[in-house]
Amino acid sequence: MGRKDKKLVQVDGLKVTLKNPNAVEAAIRTFKKVVKESEILYTLRQKRYYKKPSATKREKKNLAKLRRKYKKVD
């Protein structure tokens, strides 16, 4: 069995409740904030293309180096 099952991103549902039904712009702002905090778009962008495991390891390693570098500066 050569192929592995793909993991799908599942979201139970994002809800925004309105105190004032006429405040659509505020609802859009809060909805954007909820979507950003749930990191749905971030995971979808990352899973758009296949990335080799060695590339992800290298990326994590480089990010750790950066964190250490800036932590020493402070």
> pLDDT for 5-53, tens place per residue?
555 555 567 888 888 888 889 889 988 988 888 888 888 888 899 999 9
User: What is the pTM for the complete model shown?
Assistant: 0.51
Question: Would you state the pLDDT for residue 72?
Answer: 77
Question: Would you state the pLDDT for residue 63?
Answer: 94
Question: Would you state the pLDDT for residue 74?
Answer: 59
Contacts of 11 (CB under 8 A, 6+ apart): 38, 40
Max Cα distance, the chain (Å):
55
Inform me whether the pLDDT recorded for 64 exceeds 80: yes
